[in-house]
A and B are shown apart, each in its own frame.
Chain A
């Protein structure tokens, strides 16, 4: 198994290179993109099966000595993230294949490179390599963000690139400082280093700062709602599922490995988490287009995941992992719905839309399911996630955080109702009034599928919960992971 660990990274890259050679073969692009992502998904599920019992397969790239080799390692957390991201990529590619948004000959190759970078970032056990793979993921996103052009989009792309470049530079400086203090960048040798040495804590603090900026944690969140909504709509769905989530994954991984969950920082993380939850949801309430509302919600949801990290108990980490996984699926579904709305109406402003529930029932169904899940209403997966988290937070005696989490849920529902009331209810506009085209149902099918998955993950939550438990155990006690990586 461990030999195949590199394939989620290498296979999409190879496919992308081959597709670049045949820029005009659209069908080949579609099929190859879907096929290789499906293959990654299969592989990721196999990884899940392998890592389910706490096994950590590891692969040293190039077969070098553990001291100098870049290691790829997978525990349940990594495997889960690879799986869910493959699902997201698959859904986005299926959507664009149905809608024809993949007409740009660079689209599929760029998406594949982006996804390869993300998978790699989930699997690598080397801090510098993490930086490189994050860049592999981000640079295609720069190109995708500008795809289609237009002054507004390019303006947003400039802010997006500048912001991520700054964060990457800070990340690199942090990696350099970590190397300066410890003389290594390999997770295995960095185990608990920051807990025992304050200098490592400072150096790794720079890394965490960079990752927080990349994850759009409050107070570094503004760039996300500024830039994301201007990206091409389907690309936005992809970004929401992958980009900030890699930052979040790395944040959790570094905190678990390098800091060993040091309780000294729980307060800071919890404060950032609660701030993110509140600021994100208020921003969402204040926005007036579907994509902007949803983008602000990303900030809020990131806060929920961080809250789980802040407590660093088995229950809270499991809740965070569960939350993260299900929320990626739900959020992608919502953004795909927004993309479908935009495709049909050339706008997603709430005051210019109405009556979608009558005009496009399938779209309405997909959106409603995902929105209820996001608001944490049963029987969707979002409810189980929220319950797990609130329970874990209550168990830790943090009743203020429980109150905030509950309140933010209600505001989340209110903002989803704002979208629903604005876009879905009411009379559909007269056909001659707006040049609205009906989006074919097959375009919405991937989003609907994700919403159904979320629905199923409510009543049948135990399999995912079991995996989240294993992942949490691996974060709480990363010994197996560290031993595998360091080869000692």
Chain B
């Protein structure tokens, strides 16, 4: 319960930030620090329980379907890290008010820092893999935002940091998935309680993935390069996230999973090798830096490596050493960052070559820097000394294989010697020597105080390490329950570790004293590793590859895009031909003698169409194809289809003519000969596939069940004898409604398109009327209208219906438009699109929806019974069809009027 309360309290704190910030400005850090301390106090309440090797838990069912709970649990290991997060957090928040400028966006900084602390707490308290992952990624994201805020130069390093850490995060996610699937639960407590259940391949995979996650987060080689880059962040962020806490999340993860993977020799060896390599490499690089923050950053890399290496030893003593050194490092590194921040703030530089003699101006800062540096160098009596002792002790115990111990100890000593050297150089470089800068002032007391507290604490905890002992031992046992670690003490007597410490100090002193000579040697080393460069190069290569992938999507014309779907058709046919077994035999004879004639005509027309260069010719031939097919549809027993197709064909041709009047009379060349040939081959293959598909998949079964039902029942049920029409206006009236809507929308689209053209200045001037067409219109239009009306009314019984009727009326409209060349023709010439569409749509929908209030389904059409037993004198399907009629007419009016937009006379002088 208390764990959930703690997290809630932290969120409340974050929520209070805007308010506090408005009231107190940058001083809002103080109450927030107090809040953190309160949180720490709350967590210490169950200390006796934790020390008694029991855990505190909280549980909330998050995804019951997956058996995932948002479970929290606190043992000593979690408590140590939680206290670290909160304690250092409180110090940093006390440091912020004097560091941040008055105008700076402190609200955002405080909010993000508080949220970050919450995420870290969640991370160390999580008792479910998924929850652990969530908080893990949250810390990465918050770190990204904290690095990137403000300065323009902060972008690339922030991106790098996020990509590296969340890449590791994804490895963690994969590990979570492997573990969850393999062990059937994501409950961390249960998984760790039975480590022997994980074995074989999954154990290896999960172990490797966890290592990647931890190495990215804790900046181990080769993923370390993001950390120095992250130093563009403001100092409190560097101190808190990138020295004391977030980078320790990787250490926490390794220790947490020690139980699970610690048994694998490969796991231990990887940790040892990677950790110690990182330690040495980081220390060398730190020695090469002149920027104090960069020095501290590489120092952090190095120290983290040392800890990772020690975790790899895998004994009770090594676990305790790792935990102790984690605490020590957090204390001295946060202190050093805070002090460097003060120096930077007051002296305006962090370059060790430009700073000098600052102890004259800021003696307190100098003293505390020296203390913290001594802790870093591992000098007695600091906690750094105790921690280093423990580490040397642990490293000498590494014996898998046997020669590891001396090598590990040697590398550890080497890293520590270098650490000593750069710690000495830091203090010496900044504070000794003559004061070169003018007008410096000592920092205010409140600025130095947080660092002072931490420095004093780090020093005092050395002799008083026994205070920490119970908690650290308990935590070591939590990490790996394999017996009690040795009791932590300031003085262990004359041990090999003490010897190594002495050796470190001695060699370090030599390195410092002969620093000029050492520098000459070191100058050959690069100041950074090339990984960051490689990373950026890889990213740039990815972006270029992406541009390559994206390029095809930039082609202008439709042909490029149509190609691939078309190509899929013959491919599908080939696959089908291979996969299909024997087909059922064709039913009946689907061929009639007349078919051949039509086919020949069709082939001839199409051949003309694909070769013709005249636009009008192409349109005419296309129309001919339509007419040929209409004739054929009559012989196929589909007179409605035939008539509709014919009318559609006529209307399409009229409209195309209108559009073509202002376009070139010749079609453009089809393309390069090779492309044409390829197109022809593809066209042939697609045609063949379509023909084969039609032959194989149609005409091989008897009359379908719905077809039989309709033939038998349609007339008796609906009273209409034209079955096709009854389907359209009754059985599948929804399809008809849909197509009417399509037509209405097309009409609207045409209006919208031509409005824009008209706005662009191309007005429609009325041209001279064509006497021949006028005569034809006078003669034909009334007849067409009467026939149209007849076709509409009798549609239910004979060929006809709303569509056909309206298409015929539309033809009359088109003729009138052609005849009168744009000025309103008599008879239907003044019809307007929008009212037709609105009336038609409302009629269709109204009739359809009227059934709903009567408790009938949508589009229940037919004779409607009126109250009192009488029936309406006509079927409502006729009203529905009338709506369709109006919409189709509206479309044709729109098409004929709107698509006939002549060019401006001045434009090209084109003939109208």
Contacts and interface: CB of A to CB of B under 8 A. Distances in A.
Direct contact of A and B (CB under 8 A): yes
Interface of A: 3, 6, 10, 13-14, 16-18, 20-21, 23, 59-65, 67-70, 104, 106, 109-110, 113, 116-117, 120, 128-129, 132-133, 135-136, 139-140, 142-143, 146-149, 155, 158-159, 162-163, 166-167, 170, 173, 176-177, 179-184, 186, 189, 198-199, 201-203, 205-206, 209, 213, 219-226, 279, 282-287, 292, 296, 318, 372, 377-379, 383-384, 386-388, 390-391, 394-395, 402-403, 406-407, 409-411, 413-415, 417-418, 421, 425-427, 459, 461-462, 465-466, 469
A425 B583 contact: no
Contacts of B730: 62, 64
B624 interface: no
Nearest to A109: B748
Nearest to B837: A20
Of residues B733, B735, B760, which shows the largest number of chain A Cβ atoms within 10 Å of its Cβ? Answer: B735
B37 interface: no
A110 B167 CA distance: 44
Nearest to B555: A226
A54 B561 CA distance: 41
A282 B748 CA distance: 38
Given A14-B849, A198-B579, A286-B545, 19 more contacts: A3-B855, A3-B857, A10-B845, A13-B741, A14-B842, A60-B857, A132-B738, A136-B738, A139-B746, A143-B746, A149-B756, A180-B697, A183-B707, A202-B576, A213-B565, A286-B550, A286-B551, A413-B166, A465-B63
A70 to B, nearest CB: 5
A179 B699 CA distance: 10
Contacts of A469: 65
A199 B565 contact: no
Contact of B65 (A198, A285, A402, A466): A466
Given A70-B735, A143-B752, A282 B572 contact: no
Contact of A67 (B569, B709, B732, B858): B709
Nearest to A146: B753
B165 to A, nearest CB: 11
Given A64-B731, A390-B173, A159 B557 contact: yes
Interface residues on B, range: 35 or more
Contacts of A383: 134, 137
Interface centre among A21, A116, A387, A395 (most CB of B within 10 A): A387
B811 to A, nearest CB: 23
Given A70-B734, A410-B166, A183 B705 contact: yes
Nearest to A124: B734
A390 B694 CA distance: 42
A132 B756 contact: no
B848 to A, nearest CB: 7
Contacts of A377: 137, 141, 166
B181 A426 contact: no
B679 to A, nearest CB: 15
Contact of A20 (B553, B558, B693, B834): B834
A285 B540 CA distance: 10
Given A167-B565, A394-B178, A410 B709 contact: no
Nearest to B60: A459
Nearest to A180: B698
Nearest to B579: A198
A404 to B, nearest CB: 12
Contacts of A225: 550, 553
A62 B861 contact: yes
Given A140-B745, A213-B565, A425 B148 contact: yes
A400 to B, nearest CB: 12
A284 B553 contact: no
- Most B CB within 10 A of own CB, among A18, A61, A223, A466: A61
24 contacts: A17-B845, A60-B857, A61-B858, A62-B858, A62-B860, A110-B748, A143-B745, A146-B749, A166-B562, A184-B705, A198-B579, A199-B697, A206-B572, A213-B565, A220-B568, A224-B553, A226-B553, A283-B550, A286-B545, A391-B177, A394-B177, A394-B181, A414-B163, A417-B162
B565 A166 contact: yes
Nearest to A142: B749
A417 B178 CA distance: 28
Contact of B572 (A209, A219, A410): A209
Contact of B163 (A170, A181, A386, A413): A413
B524 interface: no
Nearest to B748: A106
A279 B549 contact: yes
A3 B756 CA distance: 42
A285 B542 contact: yes
Interface of B: 61-66, 70, 130, 133-135, 137-138, 141, 148, 152, 154-156, 159, 162-163, 166-167, 170-171, 173-174, 176-178, 180-181, 539, 542-558, 560-562, 564-566, 568-569, 572, 576, 579-581, 583, 690, 693-694, 696-701, 703-707, 709-710, 713, 727, 730-735, 738-739, 741-742, 745-746, 748-749, 751-753, 756, 760, 834, 837-838, 841-842, 845-846, 848-849, 852, 855-861
Contacts of A18: 842
A428 B174 CA distance: 39
B561 A59 contact: no
Nearest to B160: A417
B580 A199 contact: yes
A177 B699 CA distance: 10
B561 A417 contact: no
A456 to B, nearest CB: 13
B874 to A, nearest CB: 18
A119 B733 CA distance: 18
B729 to A, nearest CB: 10
Contacts of B554: 226
A199 B576 CA distance: 8
A388 B68 CA distance: 11
A110 B745 contact: yes
A62 B152 CA distance: 65
B576 A205 contact: yes
B732 A70 contact: yes
B181 A17 contact: no
Contacts of B542: 282, 285, 411, 414
A147 to B, nearest CB: 7
A238 B135 CA distance: 34
B129 to A, nearest CB: 10
A390 B177 contact: yes
A129 B555 contact: no
Contacts of B134: 378-379, 383
Contacts of A186: 706
A410 B698 contact: no
Nearest to B186: A391
Contact of A285 (B546, B738, B751): B546
A462 B752 contact: no
Given A13-B845, A104-B752, A133 B155 contact: no
A451 to B, nearest CB: 14
A180 B710 CA distance: 17
Given A6-B857, A409-B170, A163 B561 contact: yes
B159 A417 contact: yes
A283 B546 contact: yes
Contacts of A459: 62, 70
Top 10 A-B pairs, shortest CB-CB distance? A286-B546, A183-B704, A285-B546, A143-B749, A286-B547, A180-B698, A17-B841, A162-B558, A378-B134, A132-B738
A414 to B, nearest CB: 6
B735 A222 contact: no
Q: Which of A113, A128, A285 has the most CB atoms of chain B within a 10 A radius of its CB?
A: A285
A378 B849 CA distance: 46
Given A68-B709, A410-B170, A59 B745 contact: no
A114 B821 CA distance: 35
Contact of A132 (B61, B705, B735, B837): B735
B561 A205 contact: no
A426 B150 CA distance: 8
Contacts of A286: 543-551
